Amino acid sequence: MIIHLPTGKKFHNRKEAKIHFGTAYYYKMEREKKDLVFTNNVQSATNEYEDTSKTPAKQDK
C-alpha cells in the first residue's frame, strides 16, 4: 500500500498512484523520497528503498 502524506490518499499499488498523479510526477516523488510512504514491503522500481527481504530472519534453535 502507498500513502500520499499531504492528502492522506491511499493506493493499493504503484499503478493506481501513477494513474492518479501522472507517471512523471509520481516518479519525481518516489525519487525524492518524500510525500510517499510504502507499507506492506512494497519495493520501489528504482531500488532506492530498503529491501526488507534481504535482512536475515531470526531463527529459533
Q: What is the pLDDT of residue 37?
A: 87
Is residue 43 in some structural domain?
no
Is residue 44 in some structural domain?
no
Is residue 2 in some structural domain?
yes
Domain that holds residue 4: 1-36
Q: Is the pTM of this model over 0.85?
A: no
Residue 49 and residue 8: Cα distance in Å, rounded? Answer: 20
Average pLDDT, the chain: 77
Sign of CA dihedral 11, 38, 36, 15: negative
Per the structure, the count of domains in the chain is 1
Is residue 56 in some structural domain?
no
Is residue 61 in some structural domain?
no
Is residue 25 in some structural domain?
yes
Is residue 48 in some structural domain?
no
Band (pLDDT 50/70/90 cuts) for residue 34 is: confident
